[in-house]
Amino acid sequence: MEILKGFIKKHIRLSIAALALLVVLVLIFGRGRNKALGNTYFDKQCVSIEIEEGDTLWSIAKSYYVPECGSMNDYIAEIKKTNRLCTDDIHAGCYLIVPYYIPAH
């Protein structure tokens, strides 16, 4: 009987620790905001755009880029990840989801 009580107590403690960790992770990563320089926060938004003839990932990224995105290469990587692109190839007439950042109010 004592072994069973110890087993239950151990699992309750592990469950509480796991729940506490989950709460911390949600608070850290679930905010939907990126901290910029200083104490200013930026909200991440997305826009769907139609790719036009002559567009490149670089030209599109340049239109939406702000320093809070990191480097331009980081921002292009974020656009590629958002759209599940493995290469830099994009085609006119297709659509891209472009994340961009605006100051939080």
Domain boundaries, the chain: 1-30, 32-103
User: At a CB cut-off of 8 Å and minimum separation 6, what does 15 contact?
Assistant: none
Q: Which fold has domain 32-103?
A: Membrane-bound Lytic Murein Transglycosylase D; Chain A (3.10.350)
What is the distance between the alpha carbons of residues 41 and 23, in angstroms, rounded to a whole number?
21
Per-residue confidence band for 69, with pLDDT thresholds at 50, 70 and 90: confident
Q: Is the pTM of this model over 0.85?
A: no
Q: How many CB atoms lie within 10 A of CB 102?
A: 11
Reading the block at residue 18, the tokens are 């796991």
pLDDT of residue 35: 46
Q: How many CB atoms lie within 10 A of CB 75?
A: 24
